[in-house]
Structure 1
Amino acid sequence: MKIKSQKNAMWLFFSSVKLSVFLLFTLALVSVFGTIIAQGQSIEYYKSTFGHLWGTVIPLIGMDDTYHSFWYRLLMGLLSLNIIVCSIDRLFATWSIIFPKTHTVKANRFRNKPDRQIFNARSTMTQLRDPIRLFLSKKWTHFELFSTDTGFYCYGETGRKSRLGVYAVHVSILLMITGGIIGSFFGFDGYIQISEGESTNYLVIGQNQKIELPFTIQCDDFSVSYYDNGTPSEFKSILTLKRDNKTFFTRPILVNHPLRYEGINIFQSSYGLLTPEYRQKLPETVVLFFQNPKTRLSYPVKGKLNERVPLPEGKGFLPFKIIRHPIALVVIIWGRH
């Protein structure tokens, strides 16, 4: 009896709706902290941002990598178990309602309802039976008419299978949680910084860990469009994926429009200034061609960087100076959506 009581207590605990609310609230709260707190930073960063105490606690409890932490996976596992037990616990009662073997109707249940209606008919019971059957059978999906010693009564209902909708919701939640757990174990997310014309075949996870990709990503072009007030409205990169020095396709990527290939999602997260390494590769001498729109004459203008060169036809001077050069900052995520 003691073992049975313990089993019942455990079953009641995991079939509790209060447990579902608690787990959902906890996961939502933790996800908020995981979004607010920068992930994958050094302990020095957390100490300088949150102070010595919390800067030490955050990496200690795994908040620096929230979605891969043991306790976050445990919360998702407990929520999955809670949903499964709740579904099983209520399935048999729901099934008996959707597919009843017999219908039991108590007349007093309807006589005592405040919205009941009573009317007198001049027709006999036999004359009323068929018209009522025909009318109500069109209104209700499940309709039956039963005879009694004093007359007859009708039983009907609609939307019976809609009670299965909650199980469809439960299955969809379990699929999302399963995908999240699989992604937390086998997935990864990191970033790479690629300048225009450059390519790479690895990404950086956390601070220094590098993962080699099964292909090479090359940034062919980058462009930014602006609103009238000067703020960026859209930035786009043209990426080429290569393998064994062979190009297999070229695609543009925009913010919230990633490139997906072999389970790897390539997102464009931001852009920034030209890196010092790329600056060193720029030529010292630049040649630009100017064309007069009226005469259609073209003029080559040759000059060195950081110098002012005269424009054709005495139109002034042009400084050859690299102020900023955009780069694509790409985030690679595998096993997540």
Structure 2
Amino acid sequence: MTDKIYLRLWRFLGSTKLAVVLLGAVILGALVGTLFPQLTPDTVADPAASARWLAAAQEKYGLLFGLYRALGLFDVYHSPWFVALIAILVLNTVVCTVDRLRVLWRAVTARPRIEWPDAFYERIPNRVSLAVASVEEGERALRRVLGRRRYRVLADRRGEMTYLFAERNRLARLATLVTHTSLTLLVLGYLWSGWGGWRERAVALGPGQVYDVGHGQNFAVRSDGLEIERYPNGQPSDYRAHLAVLENGAEVMRKTVRVNDPLTYRGVSFYLYSYGPAAQVHATDAEGQPVPLQAESGQEAASGEVTLNFAGEGDGQEIVVPSRNFTVRLVFYYQGPSLFVQATRSGEARPFGSGSVREGESLKIGDVAFEFALDRYIVLQVVHDPGFKLVIL
């Protein structure tokens, strides 16, 4: 009884009809994923952005929002039902492959039947009769012609009759096995990456700054600067970043990375994505003591030094000086390059101090002296994709 149930289950899982139904369901699911807006990985990784996105979706779909979200229609490709469809499709492919393996292996390795009865040749639609001087001469001629076309020729002699069998591309029968195996590895890689993979798309690091990888990893990466090569007209021709991996505070690996040439350590890859202008700002009082600063990004520095990253020409960043109750706004310009600096007291609209500075210059606002060092930051994409190796097999 148990054997019969097992056999029925095996036949069901290996059914061609099941494969057609599953493929149709996967295609339908993918279609649903194009009809409904999908949460992007960047949005999911940012709780605030995710909350805003879901609020907008709730406003759009009204009472149906809860049902659509419960069905996973806003994240179809990671929803349990879509992953289950893919998993069953993989299982169906594996069972079909196992069922065909014995037949395919026999077809590839077994000696083909060469001798057939005369009635077989009389019934086949494509046949031709040739007059030859002798059986031996006819065999040699056929072998010569077929050999030039890369056919393998086998012969079987029965009395006065000689039977020839020619074939080529015998291993082509295994193509379906290769296709099924490739599909299985591709889908398994997708599932593995979806469950165990993650991606940080925009990690900005200034010179000397350290990024703790997190995600259960106990190492960090440090930016040791950026090099840019330029054409005679000043346009960048190549750029590369120097990265170091730190584990328990000690440097364990170092590499110069370029676009599409990442540093990879313990399955985590660091891709150089872009770069931009940065400014290191150092503040001291009249006695030379550091003045605590707080950057707009939330970066706080009791040491009186912060690093600001600018998106490009005309981009502005702000620094708060809590102990002096004023805010400093800095705007970057490529000419020079230079920074336009403007200070405003809390609650006031009119600035009380401003000026332009270049690399290495300082500016005094009230009793605080600001020194500026211009540099560049890099933007990394940090990726852990455990299924990638399966996909590229």
Please confirm whether the aligned pair reaches a TM-score higher than 0.5, indicating the same fold: yes
2:116 alignment partner, SS class: coil
User: What 5-or-longer segments of structure 1 have no aligned partner?
Assistant: 204-210, 284-302, 311-319
2:24 alignment partner, SS class: helix
1:175 alignment partner, SS class: helix
After superposition, the C-alpha distances for 1:301-324 in whole angstroms (9 at most, x for unaligned) are: xx99733479xxxxxxxxx98999
After superposition, the C-alpha distances for 1:290-337 in whole angstroms (9 at most, x for unaligned) are: xxxxxxxxxxxxx99733479xxxxxxxxx989996442433324243
The corresponding residue for 1:42 is 50
The corresponding residue for 2:172 is 162
The corresponding residue for 2:319 is none
Contact in 1 for aligned 2:273/2:380 (Cα 8 Å): yes
Give the alignment's Cα RMSD to 1 decimal.
4.7
The corresponding residue for 1:125 is 135
After superposition, the C-alpha distances for 1:2-57 in whole angstroms (9 at most, x for unaligned) are: x9599558625643152464266357557768995423152331332674427655
1:266 pairs with one of 240, 263, 270: 270
Superposition TM-score, scaled by structure 1 size? 0.67
The corresponding residue for 2:305 is 281
Superposition TM-score, scaled by structure 2 size? 0.59
1:200 alignment partner, SS class: strand
| Offset at residue 187 of structure 1 (A) | 3.2
Contact in 1 for aligned 2:268/2:383 (Cα 8 Å): yes
1:195 pairs with one of 185, 194, 205: 205
Matched, 1:177 2:203: no
The corresponding residue for 2:15 is 15
Task: Give the Cα separation in 2 of the matches to 1:265 and 1:30.
Answer: 32
Task: Give the Cα separation in 2 of the matches to 1:66 and 1:265.
Answer: 27
Contact in 1 for aligned 2:268/2:382 (Cα 8 Å): no
Between 1:262-271 and 1:99-108, the stretch displaced more is: 99-108
Contact in 1 for aligned 2:26/2:82 (Cα 8 Å): no
Contact in 2 for aligned 1:13/1:19 (Cα 8 Å): no
2:218 alignment partner, SS class: strand
Identity %: 19
Matched, 1:105 2:116: yes
Q: What number of residue pairs does the alignment pair up?
A: 301
After superposition, the C-alpha distances for 1:248-295 in whole angstroms (9 at most, x for unaligned) are: 233233443322111112234455676733897259xxxxxxxxxxxx
Contact in 2 for aligned 1:188/1:335 (Cα 8 Å): no
Q: By percentage of residues, which structure has more helix?
A: 1
Task: Give the Cα separation in 1 of the matches to 2:15 and 2:228.
Answer: 53
1:179-258 equivalences in 2 (<5 Å): 179-191=189-201, 193-197=203-207, 198-203=209-214, 211=215, 213-222=217-226, 236-258=240-262
Contact in 2 for aligned 1:48/1:55 (Cα 8 Å): no
What is the identity, as a one-letter code, of the residue corresponding to 2:198? F
Matched, 1:88 2:98: yes
| Offset at residue 164 of structure 1 (A) | 1.1
Q: For the structure 1 residues 119 and 128, does the alpha-carbon distance in structure 2 shift closer, same or farther, using more than 3 Å as the test?
A: closer
1:239 alignment partner, SS class: strand
Q: For the structure 1 residues 129 and 250, does the alpha-carbon distance in structure 2 shift closer, same or farther, using more than 3 Å as the test?
A: closer
Task: Give the Cα separation in 2 of the matches to 1:230 and 1:59.
Answer: 51
1:42 alignment partner, SS class: helix
Q: For the structure 1 residues 49 and 185, does the alpha-carbon distance in structure 2 shift closer, same or farther, using more than 3 Å as the test?
A: closer
Between 1:259-268 and 1:131-140, the stretch displaced more is: 131-140
1:213 alignment partner, SS class: coil
The corresponding residue for 2:386 is 335
What is the identity, as a one-letter code, of the residue corresponding to 1:15? S
Task: Give the Cα separation in 2 of the matches to 1:58 and 1:229.
Answer: 54
User: What 5-or-longer segments of structure 2 have no aligned partner?
Assistant: 279-294, 308-337, 342-354, 359-370, 389-393
Q: For the structure 1 residues 109 and 51, does the alpha-carbon distance in structure 2 shift closer, same or farther, using more than 3 Å as the test?
A: farther
Task: Give the Cα separation in 1 of the matches to 2:233 and 2:57.
Answer: 33
Task: Give the Cα separation in 2 of the matches to 1:49 and 1:254.
Answer: 39
Task: Give the Cα separation in 1 of the matches to 2:244 and 2:9.
Answer: 59
Q: For the structure 1 residues 226 and 15, does the alpha-carbon distance in structure 2 shift closer, same or farther, using more than 3 Å as the test?
A: farther
Task: Give the Cα separation in 2 of the matches to 1:241 and 1:200.
Answer: 10
Contact in 2 for aligned 1:263/1:334 (Cα 8 Å): yes
What is the identity, as a one-letter code, of the residue corresponding to 2:24? F
After superposition, the C-alpha distances for 1:171-193 in whole angstroms (9 at most, x for unaligned) are: 23322333333333333333563
| Offset at residue 75 of structure 1 (A) | 2.4
Matched, 1:60 2:62: no
Contact in 2 for aligned 1:266/1:333 (Cα 8 Å): no
Contact in 2 for aligned 1:195/1:278 (Cα 8 Å): no
Q: For the structure 1 residues 231 and 165, does the alpha-carbon distance in structure 2 shift closer, same or farther, using more than 3 Å as the test?
A: farther
1:1-12 equivalences in 2 (<5 Å): 8=8, 11-12=11-12
Q: For the structure 1 residues 336 and 150, does the alpha-carbon distance in structure 2 shift closer, same or farther, using more than 3 Å as the test?
A: closer
Task: Give the Cα separation in 2 of the matches to 1:230 and 1:47.
Answer: 46
2:217 alignment partner, SS class: strand
Contact in 2 for aligned 1:217/1:240 (Cα 8 Å): yes
Task: Give the Cα separation in 2 of the matches to 1:86 and 1:116.
Answer: 36
Contact in 1 for aligned 2:38/2:75 (Cα 8 Å): no
Contact in 1 for aligned 2:270/2:380 (Cα 8 Å): no
| Offset at residue 156 of structure 1 (A) | 1.9
